[in-house]
């Protein structure tokens, strides 16, 4: 590949995304150095920021950081370094730590540039094929994806490593070599060092073929995801609750595909076959007296009265004992309480004067409008509030009297009358 087509591929990828600032993930290796040079040569410097993640896994890690900083300074580009300390020396732990750092660093309007190339794509597809991946895995590395509200873009994904090396030599670029890349004890390194060279000897264009296969599988995956999303919309009781009865009426294969897709769209976490089997056995083949849970990296999947709830990780701390309330959103450890002015509706509170939110306690009672005195436990049961949400459900009081349970009831004497409008709605959204 000549210089111009490589630049054209880079710019074509970049121009598809409306980033205000491009954050260049710079490891110091060949691929990211070439990407840095391409960005600095073809994009306004005011749109660029260089970010280096120091994993502290190599004895020379600090030297790489210094090298990356000097490369950025030579190009007069702003530079930041983030130090992370992965749980272990494995590739997965390093990746998890790296992406958490990316997510924390990125600002609104940022795009993140990663330097994966076509040989990386071939390695990935081979690795996932040997691991027994499904369609999502075999589609390989996506050209772009979301990280929170930001775009991750890989503008070199269609470029071979050989072409990247040629570009680097042409421009006399310097880079660092990671010595672990030559250790074939790692699975990916084994494929790179021992398998791909043999395949290239027999099929010289094997990398391009893998890239083509990836594009075709990705198109099929996008179409399947579209159909699944349409079905999921009909199953959702709320954004994070699925209708369990409807799910139970489906075939096992379809049910697994829908739940996998739902969790991925909500949490960005793909379920593996072991997790799906566990979910099938515990959630759809166990009695209703059971309270199954599936612990995820990013949350917990639970069942209540046959329905599936996707929850945030358990809250380890108690809510504050007392919190004053006014109009607006009030973030608590277990959710968000929203107080809004309403010009209609009898289920609104008539005043916010001296209104506070307190932690629920055992034995609490109140008197909902038009009903007798009831325990909060009974109200939660009648409202089908899952047990794990009840402890941290907010209780609203004025001068030691319970006046409302957000989302459940307003109490006798505290509901707004037509002559007192506007009133105030209280909405609780658990995490």
Chain centroid to CA 409: how far?
A: 34
What is the C-alpha to C-alpha distance for residues 23 and 92, in angstroms, rounded to an integer? Answer: 22
27 annotated among ligand-binding-site residues: yes
- For residue 259, how many C-alpha atoms fall within 13 Å in the half-sphere facing its CB? 32
Helix, strand, coil: what percent of the chain each, to 5? 40, 20, 35
Q: Which two tokens stand for residue 148?
A: 């929170």
Q: Which two tokens stand for residue 403?
A: 């006046």
Taking phi first (over 0 means left), then psi (-120 to 50 degrees means alpha), and beta for anything else, what does residue 32 get?
alpha
Nearest partner of 348 among 338, 359, 336, judged by Cα: 338
Nearest partner of 240 among 330, 300, 305, judged by Cα: 300
32 annotated among ligand-binding-site residues: yes
46 annotated among ligand-binding-site residues: no
Q: Which two tokens stand for residue 307?
A: 């329905």
What is the C-alpha to C-alpha distance for residues 69 and 216, in angstroms, rounded to an integer? Answer: 39
Chain centroid to CA 287: how far?
A: 32
31 annotated among ligand-binding-site residues: yes
What is the C-alpha to C-alpha distance for residues 144 and 158, in angstroms, rounded to an integer? Answer: 12
What is the C-alpha to C-alpha distance for residues 398 and 414, in angstroms, rounded to an integer? Answer: 10
187 annotated among ligand-binding-site residues: no
Helix (H, G, I), strand (E, B) or coil at 409: strand
29 annotated among ligand-binding-site residues: yes
Phi, then psi, of 158 in degrees rounded to 5: -95, 5
**Known binding-site residue numbers for ATP:** 27-32
**Known binding-site residue numbers:** 27-32
């Amino acid at each position: 590949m000549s210089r111009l087509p490589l630049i054209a591929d880079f710019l074509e990828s970049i121009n598809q995304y409306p980033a205000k600032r491009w954050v260049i993930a710079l490891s110091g290796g060949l691929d990211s150095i070439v990407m840095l040079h391409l960005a600095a040569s073809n994009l306004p410097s005011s749109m660029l920021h260089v970010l280096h993640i120091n994993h502290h896994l190599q004895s020379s890690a600090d030297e790489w950081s210094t090298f990356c900083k000097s490369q950025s300074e030579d190009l007069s580009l702003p530079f930041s370094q983030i130090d992370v300390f992965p749980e272990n020396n494995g590739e997965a732990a390093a990746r998890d730590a790296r992406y958490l750092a990316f997510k924390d660093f990125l600002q609104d309007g940022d795009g993140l540039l990663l330097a994966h190339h076509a040989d990386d794509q071939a390695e990935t597809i081979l690795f996932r094929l040997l691991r027994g991946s499904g369609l999502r895995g075999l589609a390989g590395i996506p050209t772009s994806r979301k990280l929170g509200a930001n775009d991750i873009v890989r503008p070199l994904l269609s470029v071979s490593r050989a072409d990247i090396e040629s570009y680097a030599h042409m421009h006399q670029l310097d880079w660092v070599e990671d010595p672990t890349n030559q250790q074939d004890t790692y699975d990916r390194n084994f494929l790179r060092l021992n398998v791909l060279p043999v395949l290239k000897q027999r099929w010289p264009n094997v990398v391009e073929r893998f890239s083509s296969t990836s594009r075709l599988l990705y198109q099929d995956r996008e179409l399947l995801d579209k159909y699944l999303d349409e079905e999921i919309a009909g199953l959702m009781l709320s954004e994070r609750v699925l209708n369990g009865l409807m799910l139970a009426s489906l075939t096992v294969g379809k049910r697994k595909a829908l739940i996998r897709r739902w969790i991925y769209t909500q949490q960005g976490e793909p379920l593996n076959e072991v997790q799906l089997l566990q979910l099938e056995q515990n959630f759809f083949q166990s009695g209703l007296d059971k309270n199954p849970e599936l612990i995820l990296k990013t949350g917990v999947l639970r069942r209540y009265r046959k329905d599936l709830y996707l929850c945030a990780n358990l809250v380890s701390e108690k809510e504050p004992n007392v919190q004053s309330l006014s109009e607006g959103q009030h973030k608590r450890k277990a959710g968000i309480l929203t107080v809004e002015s309403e010009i209609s509706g009898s289920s609104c509170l008539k005043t916010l004067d001296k209104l506070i939110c307190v932690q629920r306690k055992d034995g609490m009672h109140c008197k909902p409008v038009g009903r007798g005195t009831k325990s909060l436990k009974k109200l939660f049961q009648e409202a089908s509030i899952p047990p794990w949400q009840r402890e941290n459900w907010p209780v609203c009081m004025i001068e030691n009297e319970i006046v409302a349970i957000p989302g459940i009831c307003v109490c006798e004497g505290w509901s707004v009358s037509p002559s007192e409008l506007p009133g105030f709605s209280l909405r609780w959204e658990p995490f």
